[in-house]
Amino acid sequence: MSNKIGIHALVWVGGWSEREARHAISSSAAAGYDLIELAAIQPELFDADLTARLLAEHGLSAGVSLGLDDTTDVSSDDPDIVAAGRKRLDLALDLVRDVGGDYLGGVIFGKLGRYTTPLTERGRAHSVETIARLADRAAESGITLGLEFCNRYETNVLNTTEQTLAFIAETGRDNVVAHLDTYHMNIEETSFREPVLAAAAAGKLGYVHVGESHRGQLGTGSVPWAEFFEALHEVDYRGTITFESFSSEVVHPTLSSALSIWRNLWTDGMDLATGARAFLKQNYETR
């Protein structure tokens, strides 16, 4: 298979000190992954030079993802909040460039968290304009932006593939793609095949998160993996596939709360990571 197989950093660590960075990167390589996805909720806290050296030492590539918060929500009606969000996204984009990556994704179009009101017309315009602006900066460094649509409890901007493709078309930028996540698809989509086909037909199937319905080990929940993997093969998807799982065993100061991670779905990151890698090899790579 030509796909890069990645793993989310929160399988290993909740922060990114030198000790945590060494542990996460070396463990990802030892577990058989090609890429680590850095959770850059606060990109200014990352040592990009150290990270780049560790990636090279262990032969890994990196992507970066994040979700914005109430103070940086680029889908807000408040121009000051939008400006703060754009500043944070610029820092995250600089991090991608400085660690030698080529992908910035996640909930970069709004806040990651529950809203109590629908998205406004003005807020949507702010979000579209933000992504178009960021895409222009990203293009200068050969970086792709991925819009990770999430379930209704984590965003009011994009919940489905169809919404995401329409949003991408509004940006008018070639380097903006759809980021499909099976955890969210299991809540919001009516099929695991049709969204893949639709994104591929639009030329916008750019990144995939594989996460189980309960965010634990792959194959132990209700995601219809055969349908999803067959669809990826049907469209000859060649992009990155990143395993994402969360447990209260590994806690990030803000992300754990935003994602409502209240219990231990696993306690051993290496056991989880090697199990997921074996699951992907057996059920996707050798099909």
Tokens of 119: 């998205």
For tokens 């150290």, name the residue: 50
Say how far apart CA 227 and CA 31 lie, in whole Å: 26
Closest C-alpha among 96, 108, 144 to residue 240: 144
Catalytic pick among 37, 148, 189, 212: 148
3-class DSSP state for residue 172? coil
Q: Are 86 and 68 in contact (CB under 8 A)?
A: no
Q: 181 near 215, Cβ under 8 Å? A: no
The verdict on whether 244 is a catalytic residue reads yes
Q: Which of 170, 194, 244, 249 is catalytic?
A: 244
Spatial separation of the C-alpha atoms in residues 246 and 33, rounded to whole Å? 17
Q: What is the dihedral of CA 153, 73, 107, 183, to 10 degrees?
A: -10
Active-site residue numbers? 148, 244
